[in-house]
Structure 1
Amino acid sequence: MDEVEVVVAHRQRATLRVGDVFLKVDGDLAHADVEVRAMALAPIPTPAILWHEPPVLAIAVVPGRALGLLGEPSAASPEAWAAAGAAIRRLHDAPLPPWPGRRLDDVAAELDGECAWLLANAVLPAEVIHRNREIAGAALRPWKPVFIHGDLQITHVFVDGDEVTGVIDWSEAAPGDAMFDLAIVTLGHEERLEDLLAGYGTDVDRDVIRAWWSLRSLVASHWLIEHGFDPDAPGCEFDVLRSRMREP
C-alpha cells in the first residue's frame, strides 16, 4: 500500500499524495469548483482530474519537476523558462473565464490593511514597508483583464527538459492583470524574468512587474506567518522586500 504524504496542510486546506494521486481537501468549496472549471478552460497542460467529491478533489501527478523553489536558485534552463513564458502567453490570450476577478479597489484596500498590520507588529523595519508600499503603487492602475492563473508560484509550473508538462493549483484563476502572473512566477527569481519574457513576448511593463513583486510580498506575509510559514526564510518574501531598498 502506498504511503500517505502530507504535501501541505494548514487551517484552510490540505493536500495529500497517495501514490500517483493528489487529494486536495479545501474548507471553501468554491475553491475546488473554480479549479475544476479553470482547468477545463485553460489552453495549456493541466493535471488530469480523477474525481471530485466535495470537499475532496483528486488529481493525477503531473510529470516532470517544478520550475524551481522559492528561496533556491532555479535549475531549469533558459529554454524551460521561455517555454513557461509561452504557455502563460497562451493562457493570457485565451477567452476570459465567466466569473469575476478582483477589483482594483479591493487590491488597494488589502494592501493598505496588510501594510498597517506589518507596521503595527514591527515584523520589518518601517522604512522597508514604506518603500515597498511606494513601489507597489505602480501596480494599482486600471488593467485590461486577461485569463490569469492567479497564484502562479514557481512551484506550480512543471517542466520536463524544455517543455511545460503541467500547471497546477488553479483555485485563484480569474480575469485579472497579466503582469501579476508574470510577477508571481518570477518572485524571488527576478534574474530569470528575461528568460521568461523570451517566450512570453516583450509587450510588458517591467516597472509594473516589479511593483507586483513588492505588493505580493507585502500582502502575503501576514497570511504566511499566521499559517506557519516563514516569509523571512532566505530568498523569500522578506528578502524580496529588503532587496527593493538597494534599488535607486
Structure 2
Amino acid sequence: MAQRRSVRLGAGARIAALALSLAGCGHTDPFASPPYGSDAPFDATPPARLTYNAAADRAPAWLVDGTGLLYSTQQTDRLDNDVCAAVLPPAGGTQRELWCDVPGGPDATDAVEAPAIGADGRLGFLTATGSVGTTNPQRAGIAVASSFDPRDGRMVRTFPYTPEGGTLQFTADHLRWLDAGRLVYVGQNVRVSSQCQSCPTDTLRTGEAVTILSVDAAESLPVVLSGTADATGVGGARRRCGALHAGG
C-alpha cells in the first residue's frame, strides 16, 4: 500500500507557485484605464466676458456651425419677467436673435432654459409658463425644436412626472443630446419657501437622478439611470463596455 506523504511548501515556494499561476492566466489587467488625453484647457488664454446683463445669463450652447452661442437670458425691463432665448456672436457684441413670450405669450411669464443643440441642429430645451407674479408654473416640460429657434418647439415630456424606478421630478436641467433621438438630463425636485408672508421667496432645486428621454418615440417615457440618485449635473456622456457613464 502506497504511503501518503504531505509536502509543505516554504513561503518562498508558495509565492513562486502563486506567481506562476497568475502568469499563466490570460486575462488582461482589469484595472487599466484608457488614456483620456490632456486635462489642460483647449485655450490657455483667460476667459473673456461676453454679456453684461444685470440679470442672469446662463446655459450657453454652441450652434452647430460655431457661428454663435444660444443661451438663456433674464430680461429685467420686461413686466412679465420672461427668461428668453438669445443668440450671441462668438466674440460677444449685439444679440443676433432674441426670442421671448415662448411658449405662453405676452400675458404670461415664460421661460426657455437649459438649451441643448444636437449634431443635426435640433434644439432640446426646458420650457415653462405661468401667470405673471406667481412662482409655480402652470405648465412645464421638455420641448424639442427642429432648429435653434424655440418658437417651433413641441412638448415631448411634461412635468411633474415620476419615471419608473425613480422619484417625483418637478423639472429638469443640464440637458444634453445622447444621440440623434435621445436626451439625457438631471431630473430635479423644486421647493419654494419664504421666511414670512412679506419676505421674498427662495427657490431650492435639488437633483433626483440622471434620466434618459427618447424624444422621437410615440410616447416619451423617461428612464432613470441606475446609480445616479442625487446627481447634480451631466457632463460628457459616453458609451463604454455597453453601459452609459455620465461624467461630472
TM-score (normalised: structure 1): 0.24
Q: Which structure is richer in relative contact order (CA contacts within 8 A, separation 6 or more)?
A: 1
More helix by share: 1
- Bigger radius of gyration, 1 or 2? 2
More strand by share: 2
